[in-house]
Amino acid sequence: MSSSEQSLRFITDQMTTISLFLLLVIGPFGCFCNILTFTSKQLTKNPCAFYLLCTTIFELCIVCFGGVSRLAAEYFGDKLLSQNQFYCKLRSYLITGMSTIATYSMLFTAVDRYMATSTRVRFRAFSQITIAHRMCLGIILVVMIVTLHVYIFFGLHPSCTPRPGVYAVFYSAYLIILTSLIPDGLIIVVALCTIKNARDLRTRAVMMQAANTSKQRSIHRADTHLLIVSLYITSL
């Protein structure tokens, strides 16, 4: 290996290490700030804030558990991931499950904003904190059951990877389709529909020339901020 290749590899390793350390510092800090925001008194009964809270909590778990275990394995000589079959299966299962839960919680954030801005009373009734609690619980249960295949087919081959062959192809397709293309595509579609609903509501408000009270303006402002936050997170 030439000196230039060695230098490039050294720089790459150093940048990877620094990025991982920054992720472990900035990531949890940002998540804790989000948790403080979404648990504030003004947002405790807002279903959109609850979906965002669920997303943040599972993202925090991914950063802390996944990041720390990777850091320990790659830079501190921890051999547990490459030598312990149970830990390999459990880590892969939890990280895959938690990332999927965070993704679909974000999807339901967009769905909630669509329902809340709908002109149909039946749709608006869906945007309730009790329904948000049930939906998040349902997401967790369904995802952890659906992703059980990760625990079954992951293992030391010889490193912690999916079982070679058909399952490796299936796992790649699972990640691309079920945890990326489908939820992200639905989020974009629902977000566009939400924007249309918001414009329709604004048009109706102008036509009716309804005078909002200060409390109504405050609630509307909070909902608008949550819509902007959800659209921003979706675009990342």
Residue 204: what pLDDT? 67
What pLDDT sits at residue 1?
A: 53
C-alpha dihedral, 45 to 46 to 49 to 54, nearest 10°: 50
Q: Is residue 11 part of a domain?
A: no
- The distance from CA 83 to its chain's CA centroid, rounded to whole angstroms, is 30
| pLDDT score at 104 | 95
Q: What is the CATH number of the domain that holds 179?
A: 1.20.1070.10
Is 111 inside any structural domain? yes
Cis peptide before 28 (omega within 30 of 0): no
What's the domain count of the chain?
Answer: 1
Whether residue 1 lies inside any domain: the answer is: no
Higher pLDDT, residue 226 or 120: 120
Whose CA is closest to 147, among 95, 106, 185?
A: 95
Rounded Cα distance between 41 and 222, Å, is 12
Nearest Cα to 152, choosing from 139, 168, 163?
163
pLDDT digit string, tens, across residues 168-207 = 999 999 999 999 999 999 999 998 998 888 887 777 666 6
**184 lies in some domain:** yes
In the chain, the amino acid numbered 192 is L
Q: Give which of 93, 23, 92 is closest to 59, Cα–Cα.
A: 23
Q: Which domain holds residue 70?
A: 16-235
In a domain, 8, yes or no: no
- Judge whether 89 lies within some domain: yes
- Non-local (6+) Cβ contacts of 148 within 8 A are 93
> What does the pLDDT average to over 4-18?
68
Provide mean pLDDT across the span 32-51: 90
Q: What sign results for the dihedral spanned by CA atoms 111, 94, 30, 57?
A: positive
In this prediction the pTM is: 0.80
pLDDT in tens, 59-92: 999 988 887 777 777 766 667 777 888 988 999 9
Mean pLDDT of 5-29: 73
Q: How far apart are CA 162 and CA 155, in angstroms?
A: 6
Residue pair 136/49 in contact by the 8 Å Cβ criterion: no
Look at residue 32 and tell me if it is in a domain: yes
Confidence band for 50, pLDDT divided at 50, 70 and 90: very high
Pick the range with the lowest mean pLDDT from 42-51, 201-210, 211-220.
211-220
Predicted pLDDT at 86: 92
Q: Is residue 4 part of a domain?
A: no
Annotate 37-68 with b (16+ C-beta within 10 A) or e (fewer).
bbeeeebeebbbbbbbbbbbbbbbbbbeebbe
CA distances from 221 to 110, 161, 175, 215, 225 (A): 17, 47, 36, 10, 6
